[in-house]
Amino acid sequence: MLGKNFENLLKSNGITPTKQRLEIADLIFVKNQHFNASDLIDKVKNAGLPISQATIYNTLCLFEQKGLLKTINLNNDHKFFDTNLEPHHHMYNTSNNTLTDISNEKISFSKLPDIPKNLSVEQTEVLIKVKNK
C-alpha cells in the first residue's frame, strides 16, 4: 500500500511518482505538519528508507515548486515546510524551534499599510515569535 495514497496527488501535480518520492510523500502528507529538511532526513533514517540527502532536498524543492508544500523562511539558514496549504498564521517558539498554526479567525487587522494602486492584497500572514520564560 506504500505510496498509493499519494500517487494520484503527485501525478495530478505533474510529478512522476517514483518509489522514493512516494516514500517521502508517505512521511510528510499523512497530516498537516511543519518540518525542516533535517527533520525529514531523520524521519527517513528512522523509517529505514534508503533515500539519499540529495534526493530528499531535491524532492522537497520539487514539491515546493509544484505547490504541494508551503515554505516559511525564519532566517537565511532556517526554512520550515508546511503541508497545510490553507491560509493561516504561525507562532514560532525560538526556545524549542517549533512552529504552530494559528487559524485566520484568531487574528484580525484593523488597518493595513497603504498598498500601491497597481497592487491588491492577495493574502496576509502573521508570524509571531515567542520564547520560553
Query: Tell me, what CATH number does 44's domain have?
Result: 1.10.10.10
Residues 103 and 119 in one domain: yes
61/74 Cα distance (integer angstroms): 17
Based on the fold, state whether residues 24 and 76 are members of the same structural domain. Answer: yes
Does residue 36 sit in the same domain as residue 101? no
Strands 127-130 and 88-93: parallel
Q: Are 102 and 72 within one domain?
A: no
Please give the residue range of the domain that contains residue 101.
86-130
Phi, psi of 132 (to 5 degrees): -65, 145
Q: How many domains does the chain have?
A: 2
> Are the C-beta atoms of residues 3 and 19 closer than 8 Å to each other?
yes
45: enclosing H helix or E strand: helix 37-46
Distance (Å, rounded) from C-alpha 42 to C-alpha 22? Answer: 17
Q: What is the pLDDT along the chain (133 residues), one digit of tens a residue?
A: 345 579 999 999 999 999 999 999 999 999 999 999 999 999 999 999 999 999 999 999 999 999 999 999 887 668 899 999 999 999 999 899 899 999 999 999 899 899 999 999 888 899 999 999 9
Beta bridge partners, 100, equal 91
Residue 4: predicted pLDDT? 58
Q: Can you give the pTM of this predicted structure?
A: 0.83
The per-residue pLDDT for 76 is 60
Dist. CA 82–CA 80, nearest whole Å: 7
What is the residue whose three cell numbers read 502528507? Answer: 29
Please tell me the distance from the alpha carbon of residue 105 to that of residue 72, in angstroms, as a whole number. Answer: 20
Q: Do 44 and 60 touch, CB atoms closer than 8 A?
A: no
Per-residue pLDDT, 10 = 96
Number of other CB atoms surrounding residue 60 within 10 Å: 21
